[in-house]
Structure 1
Amino acid sequence: MSAYKIEAGTAQHIGNRPQQNDRVALYTAAQAPGYVMAVLADGNNSAIAADQVLHTSKHLFDEFRVGDSANLPRLQELLRNIAHEVHQVVTMNPIAAVAEPQSALALLVLTPQAQAVWAHLGDARLYRFSGESCAMRTNDAAYVEHLVKHDRLPLAAAKKHRGSRLLNNALGNSMKAPFVTVGWHEGLQAGDALMLCSDGLWQLFGPEELAAAVARNTPRQAAERLIGKAAERAQGKGDNCSMAIIKLVAPPQEAPGYTVEKMRRAV
């Protein structure tokens, strides 16, 4: 019997924006039984790039085949390939020459071997919770280090990358190829949870607040409460708010199945 079962859900709210440019989805793999993918794309200017994220993620995940055991480097390569293929398709779109649609990205794959592999770029975030504690959250540290080492930028300038069109780390940015940060965790267990979310959510909450909300509620209840609180805190200036929540919960214990034959043997 599995050490845990998965409870998952997605949620979105338009906030105070004129349209919803975020996209979020949960997928199973056509040729990799037991594998689950969560995808979150935070679109900028339009939903064109975010829509492409969902299309490419589903297509490449369905093509993914596994051997007898999970191969973490191959899964990392899969997530990088999704990001780079989306970037290429979006930048080739004729609309990109005028509107330049862009998107931040968070990807997560869970394996049957209790492993999690993730990738992110831009302002989308991924959290791993252990009970009501935040065990890990993604950030821009790796990208800042990349700008300093690879692009030879001063640290102060690298930290201000969000304010520069040239340095903005996003799918669809025609001025710079995306930098994808990957990570993984082995030994998932009941009581753990993972969350992907857009900046319309994470900028309004501390990590421990998110962990507590997820731990104390079902994914649907947690999403509803977080969206409600986000709207309250945004005070009429809320961004698109999207999330995918995956909780690992202990499977229900089987009730004792006593039969007459078993009772005779016991006697």
Structure 2
Amino acid sequence: MPFSAETCVAMHIGDRLEQQDRVGLFAHPKRPGIMLAVLADGMGGHSGGAVAAEQVIMRARQNLETYAPLHETPRDLLASVIDEAHTVIKLTRFTSEKDPHSTAVAFLLQQGKAYWAHCGDSRLYWFRGTDTASRSRDHSLVAELMRKGRLDEAGALRHPQRNVLLSCLGSEREPHIEYGVAESPDAGDSFLLCSDGLWSYFTDFEMASTIQAHPPRIAAERLIQLARERAGGAGDNISLAIVKLVPPAADASR
């Protein structure tokens, strides 16, 4: 079934002194129907994390502008965004006293299909109505302990090393990138990119049902408001992007 996309990006500084998350949504400048959403959660001391996250967004915008789908695959584009941002972030360590790092999650909508890639613990959710069709795997210590059966979800949220990442951009090791694809997304599906400042406070069903029930902007406002309430004055930076697939306008009017 044909569909169109309703979108929204949103951020909140939380209870931090600085916003080190970045999020962007870009359309291809020459090819209709191609859209790229990207989100990065920066780390690395005062301003260092913001610099790292900004590099992810800049690389995404620039690479999309030169993306030629007749000669490149969606995976080529997504990999180039993360790999090239990783290289630039590493280079900034030699020109500053900071130690910048960042997560990255990128989502591409092209010719009726959806593709995504991620590194770190910023997440990509694919919701089919209120069901979770897919969710990216965190590259973190607690996620690895959970996969080995040594920690449950409640324990992961309280673990003193819950923020330790096993892979990210800017580290000495090359980033571990995982990919996903939705071959036949349909109206009623939605995709959520978000940092841990958001997903830490919700079940999958809560986020899916909020996005299902509201237009993206209202859904984003409600999710941020509730995350702030649940954080109790100790909330991290929040960033998210929502891509909600809906019937084309003509069908909706009928």
Report if TM-score (shorter chain) is over 0.5: yes
SS at match of 2:68: coil
Which aligned pairs between 1:43-54 and structure 2 lie closer than 5 A? Answer: 43-45=42-44, 46-54=49-57
Who is 2:195 aligned against? 198
Who is 1:247 aligned against? 244
- State TM-score, norm by structure 1: 0.81
CA contact (8 A) 2:25 2:35 kept: yes
Gaps of 5+ in 1: 148-154, 257-267
Gaps of 5+ in 2: 151-155
Measure, in 2, the Cα distance between the counterparts of 1:85 and 1:179.
13
Task: Map Cα deviations across residues 96-127 of structure 1 (whole Å, 9 max, x no partner).
Answer: 66311111011000012x21100001010000
Measure, in 2, the Cα distance between the counterparts of 1:178 and 1:23.
19
Q: Radius of gyration: which is bigger?
A: 1
Distance 1:208 1:167, change over 3 A: closer
Distance 1:17 1:137, change over 3 A: same
Task: Map Cα deviations across residues 38-96 of structure 1 (whole Å, 9 max, x no partner).
Answer: 010111122011110111111111111123xxx8x811121111111111111111466
In the alignment of these two chains, the number of paired residues is 236
Residue 3 of structure 1, CA deviation: 1.1
CA contact (8 A) 1:133 1:211 kept: yes
Residue 33 of structure 1, CA deviation: 2.5
Once the two structures are overlaid, the 10-residue window that deviates more, 214-223 or 94-103, is 94-103
- Percent identity between the two aligned chains: 37
Residue 140 of structure 1, CA deviation: 3.0
Cα RMSD after superposing both structures = 2.7
Measure, in 1, the Cα distance between the counterparts of 2:203 and 2:105.
19
Question: Once superposed, which parts of structure 1, at least 4 consecutive aligned residues long, lie more than 4 Å away?
Answer: 94-97, 162-167
- State TM-score, norm by structure 2: 0.85
Residue 30 of structure 1, CA deviation: 2.2
Once the two structures are overlaid, the 10-residue window that deviates more, 26-35 or 194-203, is 26-35
**Residue identity in the other structure for 1:125:** R
Measure, in 2, the Cα distance between the counterparts of 1:140 and 1:204.
16
